[in-house]
Amino acid sequence: MQRFLWLFFSLSVWAMGPSHVDVQLLSNASPIAKGQPFWLGIQLTMREHWHTYWENPGSSGLPTTVEWQPVEGLQIGALQFPIPQKFVDDAGFITYGYDNQVLLLAKAVYSGDANSLSIQGKVDWLECKELCIPGSAPVQLNLTIGEVSLQNEKLFSETLQKVPVDWSPDAPFAYDFAIQYGADQWKGQLQLQAKQGDISANPQLFPGLNPHAELTSIQWNPAGKGLTGNLTFNAWDEKPADDFVHTAVLVWESADGTQPYRLVLAPTKKQAAAPIAPDSGTPAKSGLLFILLIAFIGGLILNLMPCVLPVLSLKILSFIKEAGSHQGRRMVLSLAYTVGILVCMEVLAVTIMITKMGVGGQFSLPGFNLGMAVLLLVMSLSFFNVFEFGTPNVGGLSQLNRKSGLQGAFFQGVLMTILSTPCSAPFLGTAYAWTLTATNFEVILVFFMIGLGLAAPYVVLTSLPSLMKFMPKPGPWMETFKTFMGFPLLATVVWLLSILAAQTGRSGLIGVMTFLLFVALAVWLFGQGQKAERKMGTWLAAALILGFGTWFSLFKLWDIRNPMADLNREKEEIYLSFLAERGGSEDVMALLESKKTTNEELAWIPYSADALKHFRAKGRLVFMDFTAEWCATCKANEKFVVDTETIRAAFTKYDVVTMKVDYTNQPAEITELLKSFNRAGVPLYLFYPGEGQALVLPETITQRMVLDALENAQAALTQRTRLNQPE
């Protein structure tokens, strides 16, 4: 059986949502010297509780890799990984990786003729918490060629001390290794002998990549002045190929410090052995039955996860409502609920097998999250009696109408499954990881068992009539309880909005929240129509409001067709603001100059005194927009006047530099700048024709005003250019 590889998505992180890992390409020198080696470093910074993987990820995971773009004269060596941490999951499986921050090194040398070079590459990694998401990001570093100037010395020096070096006879210890092979388990013995000083009683040992077995335990015992390590491997091959040798990284600790060594464990003896019984304290290589068991347990525990709380409220109401009904009816409804879970689970399994998207991957799609937010908002409004699904009943969505209890139960099962996928209960991580190297039939079985575990409590409760007597009697209190349970549904909507905020940015969140407001208004009107004698007029008004809200919110305030555009733009603005604050270096100004407005998009540049001075000195037309997040007039002008097709086309024609001045936090520098134009606040719009006088627009603007001011500014710039030309 192959190694566990946990690969939950085939799309890049940027195509699916925000990453929990920041990536940066660093160098230990700038400038660098021609022909002289230098170090490159890929720095991964993980969010809290997230980790990435070492060169040997262990039971599951993928190592971080980089693909460099070729540059003539540049040679870059393989990635070198510092010593990792050891992670153990709920089922006892061991992985190796990094949390917080790590620097992966690569030695490079440049022998070309250029005076500068741009090093570019694509970094791929797997980031994991309870579940895993593959990440991918481009990296770039610009270096000049000249006299060497070291940088990031401490960071690179500390990392190099953690990178393993090959063992040699000059090392402070000697070692020997022997191994005994078996059908299911291997036993190894590593003997260490210190040449000088004391030996650590429990040194760290990290196994190298092994396609035949994995190290599951090591027991160190004193042996004279040395140490003997008894190694246990869970094997899925009885014996490796004759030319295979074991490797490992041993962290040697002494008074002089810590140094990791890479050992080649060439066995001193090889012998076939009878199968060795696995140690009782170590999980054996997982067979299908074991995985099916933990999948069932994981599904059972999912019922306690917060993701399923909204649907749990539906089930509680349904059970109470049906407590007095016939046993056969309760069993049929329980079966329908179970079928809903199992069908949805198998759809997820097939989707994963086809798309490699992974469990919970649907929540990486903004459109799906928007749809779920709308559904749960509508459900909560039903719980609050704003309107009624089908005929009035206490269970809300537990029945779609009086004769469709089966459909309601099936729907609850589907919704339960969908909402449970972002949660990872204990043991589920191992089960999910196992499916990635399993056959399609085994994947279907695993998800089937997870579904059975998820449905099991309700099946047991309905199957045993003696348990139903403990259910409370139906009564008026259920109406209050139903209303109360609408709030967990709204809490889930808030959670979905937090995901959408990370996926779509501020503009996307505003668009989504505005759309939900229109949905709530339309639902309220629909509910009013249910109570009115003439329903059609009210319902038509609800439909018109919903249609207008869809256009205004999802296509005007925010474009759902390109959901991440605003987020990427916001990230770029933050990055450019950071660069602008660093001062007016040539590199920064060159980057700002490369930002060009097009007919499709305004290329906003964050304000800085250096940038404004630079563009004016270059004789450029500069349009300045003084704005703030709390300024409603500013936002309306930007959306309906400035950022429009007509203005974008005009700005593109005259190559206008668009500069945004953020007054949200009222910085003193901007306050003084506003005062220089006799303004006490925002908005303020103006054109600078090169180094000429500013042309100031009124607070309330129209497209015609902007175009007229642009024509005047262009004329002033043309005249100024002619006057400055030598005769």
Segment among 242-251, 285-294, 606-615 with least mean pLDDT: 285-294
**3-class DSSP string for 266-334:** CCCCEEECCCCCCCCCCCCCCCHHHHHHHHHHHHHHHCCCHHHHHHHHHHHHHHHHHCCCCHHHHHHHH
Beta bridge partners of 272: 181
Tokens 């097939």: give the residue. 350
Distance between CA atoms of residues 53 and 479, nearest Å: 51
pLDDT at position 574, please? 62
CA 102 to the chain's CA centroid: 18
At 157, is the pLDDT very low, low, confident or very high (cuts 50, 70, 90)? very high
Segment among 40-49, 491-500, 570-579, 709-718 with least mean pLDDT: 570-579
Among 578, 432, 558, smallest CA distance to 503 is for: 558
Distance between CA atoms of residues 711 and 707, nearest Å: 6
Q: Reply yes or no on whether the pLDDT at 250 is more than 60.
A: yes
pLDDT at position 269, please? 38
Q: Please state the rounded mean pLDDT for residues 1-19.
A: 37
> Which DSSP symbol is given to 552?
I
Q: For the beta carbon of residue 670, count every other beta carbon within 10 angstroms.
A: 19
Q: Reply yes or no on whether the pLDDT at 52 is more than 70.
A: yes
The domains spanning 13-162 and 166-272 adopt the same CATH topology: yes
Q: For the beta carbon of residue 461, count every other beta carbon within 10 angstroms.
A: 18
Residue 196, both tokens? 């000088």
At 155, is the pLDDT very low, low, confident or very high (cuts 50, 70, 90)? very high
Is the CB of residue 568 less than 8 Å from the CB of residue 504?
no
pLDDT at position 221, please? 81
At 403, is the pLDDT very low, low, confident or very high (cuts 50, 70, 90)? very low
Is the CB of residue 124 less than 8 Å from the CB of residue 135?
yes
Q: Please report, as a single letter, which amino acid is at residue 82.
A: P
Distance between CA atoms of residues 57 and 95, nearest Å: 5
The correct answer on CATH 3.40.30.10 for the domain covering 566-724 is yes
Among 175, 179, 207, 205, smallest CA distance to 191 is for: 175
Higher pLDDT, 309 or 623: 623
Q: Reply yes or no on whether the pLDDT at 34 is more than 70.
A: yes
Is the CB of residue 413 less than 8 Å from the CB of residue 522?
no
Beta bridge partners of 661: 626
pLDDT at position 271, please? 34
Distance between CA atoms of residues 631 and 653, nearest Å: 29
Burial tier of 88 (Cβ tally within 10 Å: 0-12, 13-18, 19+): exposed
Residue 280, both tokens? 């009782």
Residue 570, both tokens? 């916001």
Residue 718, both tokens? 């043309």
Q: Which range is most confident: 318-322, 480-484, 647-651?
A: 647-651
- Give the 3-state secondary structure of residue 238: coil
Domain-by-domain residue ranges, the chain?
Answer: 13-162, 166-272, 288-557, 566-724
pLDDT in tens, 486-515: 887 888 888 888 888 877 877 888 889 999
Distance between CA atoms of residues 153 and 41, nearest Å: 12
Residue 600, both tokens? 């499709």
pLDDT in tens, 252-271: 887 677 889 999 886 543 33
With 0.75 as the threshold, say if the pTM is over it: no
Q: Please report, as a single letter, which amino acid is at residue 705.
A: M
Higher pLDDT, 37 or 406: 37
Which CATH superfamily, name and number, covers 13-162? Thiol:disulfide interchange protein DsbD, N-terminal domain (2.60.40.1250)
Higher pLDDT, 614 or 281: 614
Higher pLDDT, 717 or 6: 717
Is the CB of residue 261 less than 8 Å from the CB of residue 204?
no
Is the CB of residue 662 less than 8 Å from the CB of residue 682?
no
pLDDT in tens, 345-395: 888 888 777 765 555 556 667 887 888 888 888 888 888 888 876 433 434
Residue 713, both tokens? 């500014």
Interstrand relation of 621-627 and 657-662 (parallel, antiparallel or unpaired): parallel
Residue 540, both tokens? 């038509």
Mean confidence (pLDDT) of the chain: 79
Which CATH superfamily, name and number, covers 166-272? Gamma-adaptin ear (GAE) domain (2.60.40.1230)
Is the CB of residue 217 less than 8 Å from the CB of residue 279?
yes
- Give the 3-state secondary structure of residue 239: coil
Q: Please report, as a single letter, which amino acid is at residue 310.
A: P
Q: Give Cβ neighbours of residue 229 (< 8 Å, ≥ 6 apart).
A: 189, 190, 191, 192, 205, 218, 219, 220, 221
Is the CB of residue 465 less than 8 Å from the CB of residue 431?
no
Interstrand relation of 165-166 and 257-265 (parallel, antiparallel or unpaired): parallel
Is the CB of residue 121 less than 8 Å from the CB of residue 69?
yes
Residue 451, both tokens? 């579904």
Residue 512, both tokens? 């989504």
Q: Please state the rounded mean pLDDT for residues 64-73.
A: 92
Which residues in 479-630 belong to E strands, given as ranges?
Answer: 604-606, 621-627
Containing 718, the helix (H) or strand (E) segment is: helix 703-724
List the 185-194 sheet strands across, edge first: 213-223, 226-235, 185-194, 173-181, 270-272
Higher pLDDT, 594 or 37: 37
Q: Please state the rounded mean pLDDT for residues 147-170.
A: 90
Q: For the beta carbon of residue 86, count every other beta carbon within 10 angstroms.
A: 13
Residue 177, both tokens? 């290794």
- Give the 3-state secondary structure of residue 726: coil
Q: Please state the rounded mean pLDDT for residues 238-248.
A: 75
Among 40, 211, 220, 12, smallest CA distance to 120 is for: 40
